[in-house]
Amino acid sequence: MNRTDVKPSVAPGVRLGQVSFVWRPWIVSVSLLLAAATFLVFCLSIGVGDFPIGLPQVIATIFGRGEQVDEFVIMDLRMPRALAGVVVGIALGVSGALTQSIARNPLASPDVLGITNGAGTVAVFLVTVSGGTAAAIVNSVGLSAAALLGGLGTGLLVYFLAWRRGIDGLRLILIGISVSAVMEALTTWLLVTADIRDVAQAQAWLVGSLDDRSWDEVQVAVWGTLVLLVVVTTAAFQFKPMHLGDDIAAGLGVRHSAVRAVLLLCAVLLAGVAVSAAGPVPFVALVAPQVAMRLARCPTPPLVASALVGALLLTGSDLIARAALPVGLPVGVVTAAIGGPFLVYLLVRANRR
Amino acid sequence: MGTIAAERPASQVTTHLRRRRVVGLGALVLILVAAGAVSLAVGARALSPGEVWHGLFAAPESDQRLTEIRLIVETVRVPRTVLAIVAGVALGVGGALIQGYTRNPIADTGLLGVNSGASFTVVTVIAVFGLTDPFQYIWFAFLGAAVAGVVVFGVASIGRGAGNPLTLALAGQGVTVFLAAMTTAIALSDQKSLNALRFWNAGSVAGVGFGVIWPVTGFIAAGLVLALITLPALNLLNLGDDVARGLGVNIALSRTIGITAITLLAGAATAACGPIAFLGLMVAHVARYLTGPDYRWLVPYAGLLGAVVLLVCDIVGRLVVRPSELDAGVVVALLGAPFFAALVWRGKFKNA
């Protein structure tokens, strides 16, 4: 920036029919780089395993020009897991960005909306209470589905408890923290009273994992994420002016309370989608928007960049967990071990400039 | 309030306010004393007030029953009552301070990494050195909490914008995330530490003797002194850094003292009890609702409220699933959260 320049710098706009947006080369290039990196890691991740496949073959197979044998290994065995990583990352990144933007609080993540802890409580209950009913539930609908229902139920409970003539960011977060605290306390209590063998299984589920994902589990997450992203994208254009405050947004013709309610509901459902595919992976939703903000040099969490950072973080962690670590660790542990320090690094770097 | 405040001279209004705040403090102290008395009498074996009195003050008797009572009161109930009060004060004050220094209404005492630091050292020493007795790892837990707090503050203080509230909160999150991941990794690969971790995580004021309580109280007392020193500066800091600087506050110094206080308070309380989440966050909001934004009043209120809530929750935990017990940390969330959520819903915390 030239300090003597007195003319206000106006970013050029782009208009496509009804849709217009500001052309910001830096964000666009950062997002493209993130997308390319995600795709690369995604392909590498597919190539890694007992039957290694080279990068060119992986890419060829994805575009339908591969060998028969590669096609089977990739499309039937490895694609679900890799795709789950991307989709869960996107869902968590967007969910976190929405929550933090609406609450205007960087500490707000979907984890405080109750979904993660609600799902965790139900799962731990089903794992540790070795009763006829619990076993029957697990056998009929499966652990993940039951946990997802618990999570969504908790999330919606928070949402409706916080609803009072509209949704207020701080009220929602404080009620979410309260409900999450109850769920967490129940989980703790269940773990304390349980048999230690069940505790290990429950604890492993609580961290989130992408192991042994099948097409069935991934399919729900893929379609759910796609549908929700469409809703979020259309609402996001209305959302932009809300950073200026409700009054200004209303003056610009934004129905702010309706937009906020829709976007928060999307955040709740996206977090639920992520749980359905990978369990309650912690921290991604909290860290990804903050990292994206600093990479894209935005004052508020950027949606696209947050989604891509989430996807890269999750697929990258999964690749590292499978290819580089001596012991098999669940992906949730690796995301936190990488995401936490990286956020700290970005903070330090920003401060030292 | 019969008359409108504006009709009175200003001095009278402040006197009236001060009187109300002092009365409130007195009421809280009385509630705390009453809860303490109940805490001595209640448990797996209920005692009458007379029996408690005997257990506390009577000379050693030959009577079998009285000796037994004396044993219960002295070795079990007095320590846990004292610890609940001390840790409750620490977490309440710590919660109010962390919200003040990060200017974030959803900051909790664990934000600076004290909980994750303590948990991490606990699972590490169990996995590596095979310690089994909580008395052995309490000091490691305190060390871990303190180191985590120092690292967070250090990271947030590098370069310009030293220790600004947002950086502090995010640095705390980053370090917490990392330590929690390491803790999980160790616990998943070592059954002994997983077993210890689940009991540790529940957060309890029981089962700790005075051998631990006195040193912990010492650290907490030091933290309280530091906290009280910085309250006037914290009031000014919440007007914004520029205003505070203009009014002559040494920002870096007061932040350093404040964060040291939070680390001592939350770290020592966590080391003795395990992580007790939500308590600090909750009482800080309730205290702000009762006193307004003046930290010189808000912090003492938060401390007393924290003690009352933790003590009452410990008592409830002793009663609901007799003859076994619910850990105080669990009860704090199960009882406190619905109550807090109701207050939030009724719009009590507008200026949070």
A282/B341 Cβ within 8 A:
no
In a domain, residue A341? The reply is yes
In a domain, residue B6? The reply is no
Reported as a single tens digit per residue, the pLDDT across B251-271 is: 888 889 999 999 999 999 999
Higher pLDDT, residue A256 or A295: A295
d(CA B294, CA A217): 53
Q: What's the pLDDT at B8?
A: 60
B278: contact with A, CB 8 A cutoff: yes
A332/B340 Cβ within 8 A:
no
Q: What's the pLDDT at A11?
A: 66
Q: Which A residues 300-329 touch B at CB under 8 Å?
A: 327, 329
In a domain, residue A94? The reply is yes
B333/A185 Cβ within 8 A:
yes
CATH at A164 = 1.10.3470.10
d(CA A95, CA A289): 9
CA B271 to chain A, closest CA, distance in angstroms equals 18
If you average pLDDT over residues A11-38, what whole number do you get? 80
A189/B202 Cβ within 8 A:
yes
* Most confidently modeled range among A113-117, A257-261, A289-293: A289-293
Which of B104, B123, B198 has the most A C-beta neighbours within 10 Å, making it the best mutation to test the interface with A? Answer: B198
A164: contact with B, CB 8 A cutoff: yes
In a domain, residue B18? The reply is no
Domain extent at residue B299: 48-58+73-345
Q: Which of A156, A136, A104, A105 is nearest to A268 (CA)?
A: A156
Q: Enter the DSSP assignment of B221.
A: H
Nearest to A191 among B155, B181, B198 (CB): B198
B167/A340 Cβ within 8 A:
no
| Residue indicated by tokens 């679900």 | A80
Reported as a single tens digit per residue, the pLDDT across B179-196 is: 998 998 898 888 888 888
Q: What's the pLDDT at B64?
A: 74
Q: Which of B220, B237, B256, B244 is nearest to B93 (CA)?
A: B220
pLDDT of A247 higher than 50: yes
Q: What's the pLDDT at A131?
A: 61
The answer to whether A191 and B201 are in contact (CB under 8 A) is: yes
B344/A330 Cβ within 8 A:
no
In a domain, residue B133? The reply is yes
In a domain, residue A22? The reply is no
Q: What's the pLDDT at B1?
A: 41
Higher pLDDT, residue A187 or B10: A187
- Looking at A226-230, A293-297, A312-316, B309-313, which range is the least confident one? A293-297
The answer to whether A109 and A286 are in contact (CB under 8 A) is: yes
- Find all residues with CB under 8 Å of B184, minimum gap 6, and list them: A203, A207, A332, A333, A336
The answer to whether B314 and B80 are in contact (CB under 8 A) is: yes
Residue B352: pLDDT band (50, 70, 90) is very low
CB pairs under 8 A between A and B: 174
Reported as a single tens digit per residue, the pLDDT across A311-343 is: 999 999 989 988 887 777 888 889 988 988 988
Count the domains in chain A. Answer: 1
In a domain, residue B30? The reply is no
- Looking at A243-252, B185-194, B314-323, which range is the least confident one? A243-252
In a domain, residue B29? The reply is no
Nearest to A181 among B191, B201, B337 (CB): B337
pLDDT of B2 higher than 50: no
Count the domains in chain B. Answer: 1
pLDDT of B164 higher than 90: no
B177/A339 Cβ within 8 A:
yes
The DSSP bridge pattern shows strands A13-16 and A19-22 to be antiparallel
Nearest to B199 among A173, A174, A192 (CB): A192
Q: What's the pLDDT at B287?
A: 94
As a whole-number percent, the residues of chain A with pLDDT over 90 amount to: 16
In a domain, residue B66? The reply is no
CATH at B250 = 1.10.3470.10
B320: contact with A, CB 8 A cutoff: no
In a domain, residue B340? The reply is yes
For chain A, the distance separating the N- and C-terminal CA atoms, rounded to the nearest angstrom, is 15
If you average pLDDT over residues A255-261, what whole number do you get? 77
Q: What's the pLDDT at A300?
A: 83
As a whole-number percent, the residues of chain B with pLDDT over 70 amount to: 93
If you average pLDDT over residues B53-77, what whole number do you get? 73
d(CA B56, CA B40): 10
Higher pLDDT, residue A281 or B1: A281
A157: contact with B, CB 8 A cutoff: no
Q: What's the pLDDT at B312?
A: 95
Average pLDDT score over chain A: 83
In a domain, residue B146? The reply is yes
Q: What's the pLDDT at A134?
A: 65
Higher pLDDT, residue B54 or A186: A186
pLDDT of B348 higher than 60: yes
Q: What's the pLDDT at B3?
A: 44
If you average pLDDT over residues A85-93, what whole number do you get? 94
A118: contact with B, CB 8 A cutoff: no
DSSP E strands, chain A: 13-16, 19-22
- Looking at B60-69, B126-135, B203-212, which range is the least confident one? B60-69
Q: What's the pLDDT at B75?
A: 77
Tokens representing A71 are 């096609």
Q: Which of B7, B121, B2, B33 is nearest to B312 (CA)?
A: B33
In a domain, residue A318? The reply is yes
Q: What's the pLDDT at B59?
A: 64
pLDDT of A2 higher than 60: no
Higher pLDDT, residue A212 or A176: A176
d(CA A312, CA A86): 7
Higher pLDDT, residue A72 or A5: A72
Q: What's the pLDDT at A1?
A: 47
If you average pLDDT over residues B134-146, what whole number do you get? 85
B352/A177 Cβ within 8 A:
no
Residue B5: pLDDT band (50, 70, 90) is very low
Nearest to B345 among A161, A177, A200 (CB): A161
Q: What's the pLDDT at B162?
A: 60
A207/B334 Cβ within 8 A:
no
Domain extent at residue A202: 31-42+69-352
If you average pLDDT over residues A150-173, what whole number do you get? 83
